[in-house]
Amino acid sequence: MISNLINSKIFTLLKVQYSNMLEYRVEIALWAISGIIPFFMLNIWTNNNLNESINISDVMLSRYFLCAFFVRQFSVVWVVFSFEEDSLLGKVSPYLIQPLNPFFRYFAQHLAEQITRFPFALIIAFFFFIFNPESIWIPNLSLLLLSIVSTFLSFLIQFLIQSIVACLCFWTEKASSIERLLFIPTLFLSGLLAPVVSFPAYVKSWIYLTPFPYLIDFPANLLSGNETNISGGLSMQILWIFILFPLFKKIWSEGTKKYTAMGS
Amino acid sequence: MVQNIIDVKNLSKSFDISSKEPGLKGTIKHFFRRQTKSLKVIKDISFEIKEGEIVGFLGANGAGKTTILKMLCGLIYPSEGSILVSGYLPFRRKENFLKNITLIMGQKQQLIWDLPPIESFYLNASIYDLDKFEAKKRIKKLSEMLEIDEELYIPVRKLSLGQRMKSELLAALIHEPNILFLDEPTLGLDINAQRNLRKFLQKYNKETNATICLTSHYMKDITSLCKRVICVHQGAISYDGKLDLLLKKLSPVKEILIVCRSEDDAIKLGNSGFTVKNKIKNEITIKIENKSITSSLKTILNNFDILDLFINEPPIDEIIGKVLIKKDYDI
């Protein structure tokens, strides 16, 4: 049954959403460019020789931030904003009475957008290597595959976190403000601004218990070839998915009882 | 014997509504201490609908018609009472139940805005587990019925409102549901598009024996589609029965405009015991009860010199308008 679902519904959803995304080529190119925060951070780190304090070479640091850029490109999630808008305007109503959870639509939308982003991300990486030729490397195939899996798991964690927050729309109507609160720890603890290894030891031990370092830091370290605990990182990612998924299901089931179909 | 497909017993729905006083003081007070009250929008209603019936829900804005439809299709949770639709509790939204129903809201759309409708149709087909061959067949059949063959490949954003509404209908019917919940399906459509849509719904009901629950502010939708109406007033049912019976009861008289040969004849006619609505020169309008219309007309034609006469049916909107503002109709 699951394979049937993947074969037909999800695949068709993905195809349709991909066609839809292709209607927004320019926007997607701009979104890809807007994700270059890691390159600014790289500049700040190298210009101030901050990497010396954490024993990471310039080359490894630039690879880390390039990988952080890539991971971010393929794990960025905005479901809370889409769902909030659809919920407030009553657009979610027709989807609720179809035999497919509406979140599959958002999920397919995100995947389709990632596929559309991919060529633009490659172009940005190409320019990155022109300016940083010393950073060019060919990742080990097994690490590359693991980092793809890890990036997808990171996307799943973020999608589940935001979907849980999105479901709060059933109670608060403005769930995106809660997401903005979550954005702060995501920004600082995920490894987008600084590798988690740069934090003091006692802070790190706490950070690794949260889902945040597994969103960017872990997959980026994996892809860039930096030293990291592969089995530990992957296990934590899977663990967080196992925690978040039932939580999402519960909050969804309770939330839909509160749905008032506003605006329709 | 025709089975009940919808069974509603003592159904109520309450919403928590927050209120705010106007001005800055009200805003600050609202920020710190939100006042909410529970508003009962549907009050203990019960009704049954048989398979294949087309039932119109009538009521003023905010009467609760759409809320009833939303509960029937499982979109919102009832506060009290029970609903059984096709043997299912709608709110549980079981897959088999969802495959049997559809909801069309005139002001809401499910089609993907930037893509041609055909993409949304195939997407819906896969959601309802239809294979590509079957989907293609149904799209062809429905697009012919709705006369939108050429519009299937044009992006939705470029379609006219009427074409979009027809496409919405096709998207909502691709799984051939047995029960249709239509909330103002002709909203914003021009007269021709409204007529075509009504014709389509009649044909669909005839061919598939589908049950249709309909709300509309266009009386023509109700009169041409529904034999039975349920009037909703402030969340309660004020009338549930045949439409023609309601019209007869609410409009027991007909107005007859009589053109007499002379003004004297018109005066004589006015003084002969009929209820006169108005008189202008040799033209007089009188009111006659439906039950005595034949005998009264015979008397008039035999006793007065008449040039012409016109029987006016009172506008149906006017009659139904009376229902919408009254609490109860004991018919």
Q: pLDDT digit string (tens) for A48-61?
A: 777 677 777 888 88
Its domain, for residue A76, covers 37-90+137-258
Biggest distance spanned by C-alpha atoms of chain B: 80
CB of A48 within 8 Å of any CB in chain B?
no
Instruction: Please name the amino acid found at residue A184.
Output: I
* DSSP bridge partners of B82: B9
The SS3 assignment for B57 reads strand
Token output for B274: 């009929």
In this prediction, residues B155-178 reach a mean pLDDT of 90
Is residue B122 very low, low, confident or very high in pLDDT (cuts 50, 70, 90)? very high
Q: Is residue A214 part of a domain?
A: yes
Statement: residue A19 has pLDDT above 70: yes
A223-261: burial string, b at 16+ Cβ within 10 Å, e else: bbbbebebeebbebbeebbeebeeebeebbeebbeebbb
- Measured CA to CA, the distance from residue B314 to residue A231 in angstroms comes to 81
Q: Is residue A18 part of a domain?
A: no
Cβ contacts of A22 on chain B, cutoff 8 Å:
none
Residue B285 Cα distances to A237, B280, B298, angstroms? 84, 9, 16
pLDDT for res B326: 65
Q: Is B125 in contact with B170 (CB distance < 8 Å)?
A: no
Q: How far is A79 from chain B (nearest CA, A)?
A: 17
CB of A8 within 8 Å of any CB in chain B?
yes
Statement: residue A2 has pLDDT above 60: no
Instruction: Please name the amino acid found at residue B58.
Output: L
Q: Is residue A16 part of a domain?
A: no
The SS3 assignment for B199 reads helix
Q: Is A160 in contact with A243 (CB distance < 8 Å)?
A: no
Rg (CA), chain B: 25
ipTM over 0.85: no
User: Measured between CB atoms, which of B105, B119, B129 is closest to A19?
Assistant: B119
Cβ contacts of A96 on chain B, cutoff 8 Å:
75, 93
Is residue B163 very low, low, confident or very high in pLDDT (cuts 50, 70, 90)? confident
Q: How far is A22 from chain B (nearest CA, A)?
A: 10
Residue % of chain A over a pLDDT of 70: 95
Cα-Cα-Cα-Cα dihedral sign, residues B86, B91, B92, B96: positive
pLDDT for res B45: 95
pLDDT for res B328: 57
CB of A204 within 8 Å of any CB in chain B?
no
- Measured CA to CA, the distance from residue A239 to residue A219 in angstroms comes to 16
- Count CB atoms within 10 A of the CB of residue B141: 14
Sequence length of chain B is 331
What rounded mean pLDDT belongs to chain A?
87
Q: How far is A174 from chain B (nearest CA, A)?
A: 15
In this prediction, residues A247-259 reach a mean pLDDT of 93
Please identify, in words, the CATH class of the domain defined by B252-312. Answer: alpha beta
In this prediction, residues A151-180 reach a mean pLDDT of 91
Domain ranges of chain B: 4-248, 252-312
Q: Is residue A97 part of a domain?
A: no
Number of domains in chain A: 1
The per-residue pLDDT for range A73-131, each reduced to its tens digit, is 999 899 999 999 888 888 888 899 999 999 999 999 899 988 888 888 898 889 889 98
State whether A97 and B110 contact (CB < 8 Å): no
Main-chain dihedrals φ then ψ at residue A95, nearest 5 degrees: -75, -30
In this prediction, residues B279-301 reach a mean pLDDT of 86
- Measured CA to CA, the distance from residue A71 to residue A73 in angstroms comes to 5
Q: To which H or E segment does residue B31 belong?
A: helix B23-32
CATH of segment(s) B4-248: 3.40.50.300
Q: Is residue A79 part of a domain?
A: yes
